[in-house]
Amino acid sequence: MQCYSCENELTEKNSSNEHILLNSIGGKLKSKSLLCKKCNSDFGKNFDNILSQQLLFLSTFLNVERDRGSHPTLKGAKTKNDEEIHLLSGGKPYYSKPTVEEITKDNQVIINIKARNDRELNQIAKGLNRKYPQIAVDDIIKNAVHTYAYLNEPITVNQTIGGEKALNGITKIALNYFIYVHTVFTEVKKTIEILKHEKKNSLCKHYHIEKFYKKEPKEICHLIHVESSKRNKNLVAYVEFFSSFSFLIMLSDSYEGKPIRSTYCYDVNHKKELKKDIKINITTKDFQDLPIISPRYYNLITEKMDRIVKIGVEKQQSKELKELISRCVDEVFIKRYGHEKQITKEMITEVSNLLSVEFIKFFYIKK
């Protein structure tokens, strides 16, 4: 096998384990028969990063499993009052910065601190101690109240996918899958050259149609399909991310290689591969005539995203309930009665009361 970028022979020493679907979005399909280590580092790194960033919201919100690394914090979400919120893995909201409010009243200064963790509180306390030496750092930390609260207003996250570099990244995914399945790349050298030199890409287009394939309940899939046509003399690919954003790619408009029709589908929600029956059969002219954005594009995207968000929210709520119960149990049995050797009726009553209060907060805020 050769590296399809530099065409040097691949060996055990120089081959790289390339993710066909990006690791950052939970891609599991990999191959050591595509690129050498140097080309894997250089080829498409720029547009891979941009595509990964554009898909960061869904990757973080759904907390997809990655082979390596953790999800970066998603920044830029805002509340109705224009307060910036960060999102952690699983879509958990997190204040973008701490706040220190100083109120002067009756010759006294009242200071309200909102810190995101103990380390941050300690840093703020030391800063206040330098300004007000009479304030003891230890007293601030000792009197701090740890609270959990639910965000009781919607947040807005801007989500865009597209642009020249992102489309190059999507084309690379389709290209990688074709070579992975077909094992040769002579028929797609033109596409390789376009990506190598990061030329303007007219090979990849948004492609949203209704009921393209049957969806199972609660599946959230990444899908790649490649298909050749002897009659049309072309090689086309279809790539879909998170059962939402979909694209059609013309890998070759003069294909004369072996017939191919292959589909890979991975459900990131249930962490398993699925079988899908995909058929495209589009002429090169029909592909060229496809509009950049179809009239139904925004309606279809909205419908798809609504479905994904509902699945994600249900998953979040299930996880939060488990964490809520765990916090209540720890609060009573470990923090309050950790010194006791036996569980008493009083402890059970306290846990029950605390759970009742927290359940009311949880279900009220979800209305």
**What pLDDT, on the 0 to 100 scale, is given for residue 29?**
96
Task: Kindly report the backbone phi and psi dihedral angles of residue 137, in degrees, each rounded to the nearest multiple of 5, phi listed first.
Answer: -60, -45
Per residue in 75-118, pLDDT (tens digit) is 888 888 888 888 888 888 888 899 899 998 888 888 999 998 89
Based on the fold, state whether residues 178 and 214 are members of the same structural domain. yes
Which residue is listed with tokens 């200071």? 111
**What pLDDT, on the 0 to 100 scale, is given for residue 366?**
58
Query: How far apart, in Å, are the Cα atoms of 26 and each of 17, 40, 67, 335?
Result: 15, 18, 7, 38
**What pLDDT, on the 0 to 100 scale, is given for residue 197?**
83
Based on the fold, state whether residues 137 and 240 are members of the same structural domain. no
Q: Which pair of structure tokens corresponds to residue 181?
A: 């399945």
Q: Which amino acid, residue 187?
A: E
Q: Has residue 126 got a pLDDT over 70?
A: yes
Based on the fold, state whether residues 109 and 230 are members of the same structural domain. no
Q: Is 83 within a domain? A: no
Based on the fold, state whether residues 285 and 315 are members of the same structural domain. no
Look up the domain containing 120 and give its range. Answer: 97-155
**What pLDDT, on the 0 to 100 scale, is given for residue 362?**
73
d(CA 10, CA 35): 8
Based on the fold, state whether residues 244 and 338 are members of the same structural domain. no
Question: What does the buried/exposed string (b/e) look like for 129-146 if buried means 16 or more CB atoms within 10 Å of the residue's CB?
Answer: beeeeeeeeeebeeeeee
Based on the fold, state whether residues 214 and 258 are members of the same structural domain. yes
Closest CA to 122 of 113, 131, 109: 113
Based on the fold, state whether residues 338 and 230 are members of the same structural domain. no
**What pLDDT, on the 0 to 100 scale, is given for residue 36?**
94
Q: Has residue 367 got a pLDDT over 60?
A: no
**Rounded to 5°, angle at Cα 13 from 7 and 16:** 65
Per residue in 17-44, pLDDT (tens digit) is 999 999 999 999 999 999 999 998 887 7
Q: Which amino acid, residue 226?
A: V
**What pLDDT, on the 0 to 100 scale, is given for residue 356?**
86
Q: Is 177 within a domain? A: yes
Q: Is 202 within a domain? A: yes
Select from 137, 155, 173 the last residue of a domain. 155
Q: Has residue 159 got a pLDDT over 80?
A: no
Based on the fold, state whether residues 279 and 221 are members of the same structural domain. yes
Based on the fold, state whether residues 325 and 340 are members of the same structural domain. yes
Q: Has residue 170 got a pLDDT over 60?
A: yes
Q: Is 54 within a domain? A: no
Q: What band does 364 get if pLDDT is binned at 50, 70 and 90?
A: low
pTM of the model: 0.83
d(CA 71, CA 62): 11
Per residue in 241-286, pLDDT (tens digit) is 999 999 999 999 999 999 999 999 999 999 999 999 999 989 999 9
Based on the fold, state whether residues 230 and 257 are members of the same structural domain. yes
Based on the fold, state whether residues 202 and 285 are members of the same structural domain. yes
Q: Give the count of domains, the chain.
A: 3
For 296-301, what is the mean pLDDT?
A: 84
Based on the fold, state whether residues 180 and 264 are members of the same structural domain. yes
Q: Evaluate whether 206 touches 294 at the Cβ level (below 8 Å).
A: yes
Closest CA to 68 of 34, 15, 19: 19
Please tell me the least confidently modeled range out of 49-58, 93-102, 221-230.
93-102
Per residue in 330-356, pLDDT (tens digit) is 888 888 888 888 888 888 888 888 888
Q: Is 225 within a domain? A: yes
Instruction: List all residues 6 or more positions away from 93 whose beta carbon is below 8 Å from its beta carbon.
Output: 77, 85, 86, 87, 151, 155
**How many Cα atoms within 13 Å fall on the side-chain side of residue 25?**
29
